[in-house]
Amino acid sequence: MKNLLKADSFYLRKSRLTLIALILAVAFPILTALLYWGLSVLTERENILFSANNMISSVFSLTSDLGLVLPVFAGVFVCQDFSNGTLRNKVIAGNRRSAIYLSHLLVSMAFLLAVIAIYAVVTTALALLFFPFKWDSSRDLGLEITYFVSYGLTSFVFIATVSTMFAMILRRSAPTIILTIVFSIVLAMVNSILMAVDYESFQHVVYFIPTFGGNFFSLNSLNSLSILRFLNGSADASRSLIFAEGMLSYLFFGALHTLIGLFVFKKRDIK
C-alpha cells in the first residue's frame, strides 16, 4: 500500500493535470478578483456582493469554478490508470485490489485538498487585500472559520470518494467526468430546493444530505445570518449540531461510496 501511494503520487506529480490544476488554483482567484473589482467600479457603490466575504464564501463550493473542475481531474487521473494499462501492472505485481483502490482514493483526496488549499489561500489573500471583510461582531469568528474550513475541506474529501467510485466502476474518463459533474449539480439542486421549502419538520434529515451544511458555513455572516433567521430561529445554537450532522453525513456517504466502488472493482475483470 505504501509503495502504491508512492507510485500514484509520483504519477500525479508528473501528470499534466496537476500542473493545469495548480495554474487554475492561482488563475481563478485572480480572475474572480478582477471581475469583482471591475463590477464594483462599474456599479460605483459599495455592495455586499463585492465583499471579501462573498469571494471567500465560494472557495469550497463544489459547483463553482475549481470546485467543479478538481473532482473531474481526480476522476480522470484514476481513469488514466485504466487507459494506460498501468492498473494491470499493479495487479500482476501482486497488489491487492483493495490496496489499489484505497491508494487511488487517498491520493485523490490529497490532490484535491492540496490544490483547494492553495486556491483558498490565494483567494482569501486577494479578497482581504482588495475588498472589505464584513463581520457580525456577535458571532465568534474563530469558530466560524473552523466550521468553514473543516466543512469545506471535508467536502472535497467526500467528493474524492464520489469521483474515485465513478472512475473505478466506469473506467473511462468521459462518463466519469459527466457523472461527477452531474452528481455535484444534482446535490446543489437538491440543496437549493430544500432551502426553499419549509423543512423544519424534517430538518435533521436535511442536515444529513451531503454538502447541505455548506449553506450555513460560508463566512458570509450577513447573508448566512439572514438565511439562518429565516430557516431556524435558534440559529447559533443549532450550528454545532448542523456541523456534526454534516460531518457524519460525509463520513457515512463517503464510506458508502468507497464500499460500493471497492465491491464492484474487486468483482470485475480487468481488461
Partner 1 sequence: MDVLTTNGLSKVYKRSFAVKNVSMHVEKGDIYGFVGENGAGKTTLIRLVTGLAAPTSGSYAVCGAANDSPAIYEARRHTGAIVETATMSRGMTALDNMKMQCLYTGVSRTEAELIALIERVGLHYEEIRRKKVGKFSLGMRQRLGIAMVLVSGADFIILDEPMNGLDPQGFIEVRETILRLNREGVTFLISSHILSELERICNKIGVISHGELLEEIRMEDLHRNARRRIVLEAEDADTAESALRADGGFAELERADGRLTVYGDVDLNRVLQLLVSNGLRVRSVNTVEETVEDHYIRLLGRGKIV
Binding footprint of partner 1 on the chain (CB under 8 A): 3-4, 6-7, 10-11, 14-16, 80, 84-86, 88-96, 267, 269-271
The nearest distance, CB 163 to partner 1, in angstroms, is 20
- Between 45 and 271, whose beta carbon lies closer to partner 1? 271
- Between 51 and 80, whose beta carbon lies closer to partner 1? 80
Cα separation, 252 vs 258, whole angstroms: 10
The nearest distance, CB 109 to partner 1, in angstroms, is 19
C-alpha cell at 21: 490544476
Torsion of CA 46, 49, 52, 56, to 10 degrees: 180
- Between 110 and 222, whose beta carbon lies closer to partner 1? 110
- Between 14 and 229, whose beta carbon lies closer to partner 1? 14
The nearest distance, CB 8 to partner 1, in angstroms, is 9
The nearest distance, CB 5 to partner 1, in angstroms, is 9
- H or E element that contains 15: none
- Between 10 and 252, whose beta carbon lies closer to partner 1? 10
> Counting every residue, how long is the chain?
271
Please report the DSSP string for 44-80 in residue order: TS--GGGSHHHHHHTTT-TTSHHHHHHHHHHHHHHHH
In the chain, the largest separation of any two C-alpha atoms, in whole Å, equals 65
Burial class from Cβ neighbours inside 10 Å (0-12, 13-18, 19+) for residue 247 reads middle
The nearest distance, CB 7 to partner 1, in angstroms, is 4
Q: Would you give the distance in Å from CA 132 to the centre of its chain?
A: 25
